[in-house]
Copies of this chain bind each other. A is one copy, B any other.
Amino acid sequence: MSDPRELRNQGLKVTAPRMKVLDLFHTSAERHLTAEDIYRKLLDEHADIGLATVYRVLTQFEQAGLLVRHHFEGGKAVYELNEGGHHDHLVCMQCGRVEEFYDAEIEKRQAKIAKERGFAIRDHQLHIYVDCTKSACPHRPKG
């Protein structure tokens, strides 16, 4: 079970739906989940939680800084736990699998580019879309 304080510390009431969604992020094999992914997992464990609530909870968690949202190709928003460290993503276009990476030099140059142009960086995301049709890619039904 997740620690209820993760919610209280952000001023969020501790409710069953919130705890269950948070648990999923802490226990799932995949770090990156869509609202639909979460809804299905909750259905699987017969938690009686509506899809609308899943969306609301994800939005609140993102605003609270517990989760980070990404929009990869494919139209669906993807969420992952915010564990502090920024990183970028490799996304397989075949199976939807996501790998993370971090490159200090790339970060440095991004900051420089924005600064040179007088912009304050709010957020930045580097998405590398790949095919991993080999063994590295356990083709799973694209969710």
Contact = CB atoms under 8 A, between A and B. Distances in A.
Contacts of A124: 126-129
A9 B32 CA distance: 41
Interface residues of A, number: 34
Interface of A: 71-73, 75, 90, 92-93, 99, 101, 103, 105-106, 109-110, 113-114, 117-132, 134, 136
Given A92-B119, A123-B129, 20 more contacts: A71-B72, A71-B75, A73-B123, A101-B113, A105-B109, A106-B109, A106-B110, A110-B126, A110-B128, A113-B128, A114-B130, A117-B136, A118-B134, A119-B128, A119-B131, A120-B131, A121-B130, A124-B128, A125-B127, A127-B127
